[in-house]
Each structure stands twice: as structure tokens, then as C-alpha cells.
Amino acid sequence: MSNKRTAALGAGVLSAVVAGGIAFAPAAVAQGEDSAYALSANGLVNITKVPHVVGEGKDHLVHTDLPQGADRILHAGVFNSAVEDGYAKASTTDVKLGLPGVPTIEVGLVTAECDDLSGATSVAGLKIGGTNVEINQLQPNTELIPAPLQGLARITLNKQTENGDGTLTVSALSVDLLDGTQTVDLSTATCGERPETTPEEPDAPEEPNTPGDDGTKPDDEGKAPVPVPQPGHLDVTG
């Protein structure tokens, strides 16, 4: 697999966007490649996938506000993305998401991991409008609509999608506001099958010495043969 990744958007560039909206040109992604990103948003506010890693590599952003100032819709402490052959992982920490007309959504740590077409996620410290949300077993595509979000938005945890190119995409936390008017995905990883590795051939075992390797063999009763004198020469001094 080729070793490439998209250019990371620095925290300074992200913080310079205006309150009227955030719009970046979408990054091109080759079909069937492993990839990871910590944040993406589409709808009234568009945020391209950041930090986006494709193929192989890792990247991160620290202390990001979008947009900058009191009108921010999102704050995150750290974004991390890492990818290798058949494996991808994305994580986001200390997230506060304030969409218009929706109670603030907070999460302490949200992680998505995709390994050889198998997905797993973890979500810790989820709060809706300041109220803790209890999460027990996080099965794939777990839909969550707590009372503060009734009629406004729904949250899908451990969202898993099988793609037409044979890869699997796992999003740890996906928010859908007003039936697609605004969507936000936190911690998304996409992976294919891990490449097969050819096992190394073991070294050939040493053959043990057997009686008779020196040209002599025991008799039928298993007794050692009588040594046969060999001609030789000894110097004599006197």
C-alpha cells in the first residue's frame, strides 16, 4: 500500500475561521484505503475531516475551537489519527459540541478502532445538557435519544458501515440534527483486510548421528565390534 496522507490543517488555521461558517475543500481519498479522522461535520456548518490520515501515518491537533471565540460550536482538547495497513484508529478528548437549539453535548474521550475489518469503539464521560448519560454495552449502531434531544437530534454510538470497496468504517459518536440538517462525526476509522504475511520457513533440523557413521556397526546381538587396528607410523627416538 502506498505511503501517503493528506496535509494536516494546523490549529492556527482552524481557529481563524469566521462565525458565519466553516468550509474547506474536501480532500481526495483513494478507494479502498485505510484512513482515520477525528472530526467531520456536514450541513449548516461544514468542517472537513481533521486531522485526516490516509494510507499510513499519524497526525494530531491540540486545543481546537471552531470557530474562535464565544460563538464556537465545538471545542476539543486533542484530536488523534493513526493508520497502517489494515488498521486505523482515531480519538478525540475533552469535546464540547454546541449546535444551535440543541443542549450541549460533552464527551471526555471517544475512540474508534478498525482492525482487519473488525470495529470497536469506546465512549467515556458522555453528558447531554450537563446530565450524565449511562453507557453499558456498546453494540454496533447503538442509537441514543435522551430526553433533552427528543424531536431535535439523535446520537448513534459505535456506528459501523460496510463500504462497497470492501472496507469497514467505524464512527465512535455520530450526531444527526433535524434529520440530516446537520451531522457531526467524532472519531472515525476505516480499514480493509490486513495483508497476508508469508511465514518464515523453519531451519532444517540437524540429523542425529547413528551407529555406523564411522564405518563400523554393532553385531546382531548389539555388541560393539572389535576395533580394527589401522596402520600408522610413530617416530622412535633413543
Structural domain boundaries enclosing 63: 34-191
- On whether residue 146 sits in a domain, the answer given is yes
- If one counts the domains in the chain, the total is 1
Per-residue model confidence (pLDDT) at position 120: 95
- Output phi, psi for 149, to 5 deg: -105, 0
Per-residue model confidence (pLDDT) at position 13: 30
Per-residue model confidence (pLDDT) at position 206: 66
Per-residue model confidence (pLDDT) at position 198: 65
Per-residue model confidence (pLDDT) at position 32: 78
Per-residue model confidence (pLDDT) at position 7: 33
> pTM of the prediction?
0.69
- On whether residue 123 sits in a domain, the answer given is yes
- On whether residue 47 sits in a domain, the answer given is yes
- On whether residue 109 sits in a domain, the answer given is yes
Per-residue model confidence (pLDDT) at position 65: 83
pLDDT along the chain (238 residues), means of 10: 38 33 43 89 88 95 76 85 97 90 92 97 93 87 90 94 96 94 95 82 64 56 58 50
- On whether residue 213 sits in a domain, the answer given is no
- On whether residue 226 sits in a domain, the answer given is no
DSSP line for the chain: -----PPPPPHHHHHT--TT----PPPP--TT--EEEEEEEEESS-EEEET-EESSEEEEEEEEEESSSTT-SEEEEEEEEEEETTEEEEEEEEEEE--TTS--EEEEEEEEEEETTEEEEEEES-EETTEE-------TTEEE--GGGTTTEEEEEEEEEE-TTS-EEEEEEEEEETTTTEEEEEEEEEE-PPPP-PPPPPPPPPPPP-TTTTS----TTSPPPPPPP---------
Per-residue model confidence (pLDDT) at position 134: 85
Per-residue model confidence (pLDDT) at position 101: 82
Per-residue model confidence (pLDDT) at position 12: 33
Per-residue model confidence (pLDDT) at position 238: 45
